[in-house]
Amino acid sequence: MPARQPLPRLWLMTDERLGDGLLDAVARLPAGAGIVFRHYSLAEPERRALFERVRGSAPGPVMLAGPAALASAWGADGSHGRHDGATTAPAHDLAQIRAAEAAGAALIFLSPVFPTRSHPGAHALGAERFAALAGQATLPVIALGGMNAARAKTLSGAYGWAGIDAWSEKA
């Protein structure tokens, strides 16, 4: 599914932790920034309604985490996940990078680069391991996990970066 524009370098990953601040986080995004809409815990009618609100405020493409057919039905700019037809895909290691490439993704979110509140206790890749993995990818790689603009400047091999808290009022 083609995006409305070239895939951005800056992304917001939606998360239930944003709560009522979700639309404020969307408003903080620069022009052209992308959004990966997750909110898995919501029932489908509530998830769809929130997706529509986010999409209406988005400064760039919005990917729906889930099957490509659902993303198409909802009018998303693409789907996000580990499935054939996904526009963007998550990866944590080289095997998952290769799987995303084989599935036809256009962009990979590699994480967690640094410790993150969304995955407490998860082993972070660190800047060196991130650069080594990103350097082996044939697709653009977005750094995710404990990211912000300052940390992104320290990374090698990143096409761009994504965050949750970085776009919130708390950042």
In-domain check, residue 1: no
Token pair of 33, please?
Answer: 């920034």
Beta bridge partners of 25: none
On whether the CB atoms of residues 39 and 47 are closer than 8 A, the answer is yes
| Helix 94-102, helix 126-136: angle, nearest 10 | 30
In-domain check, residue 53: yes
In-domain check, residue 67: yes
Q: What is the tally of structural domains in the chain?
A: 1
In-domain check, residue 5: no
Cα 42 to Cα 161: distance, rounded to the nearest angstrom: 26
On whether the CB atoms of residues 100 and 82 are closer than 8 A, the answer is yes
On whether the CB atoms of residues 81 and 96 are closer than 8 A, the answer is no
In-domain check, residue 2: no
This prediction's pTM: 0.93
Cα 65 to Cα 13: distance, rounded to the nearest angstrom: 10
> Where residue 83 sits, what CATH number does that domain have?
3.20.20.70
Strands 141-144 and 107-110: parallel
88: left (phi over 0), alpha (psi -120 to 50) or beta: beta
Task: Check residue 4 and give its pLDDT.
Answer: 44
pLDDT in tens, 41-63: 999 999 999 999 999 999 999 99
pLDDT in tens, 98-131: 999 999 999 999 999 998 877 677 789 999 999 9
In-domain check, residue 4: no
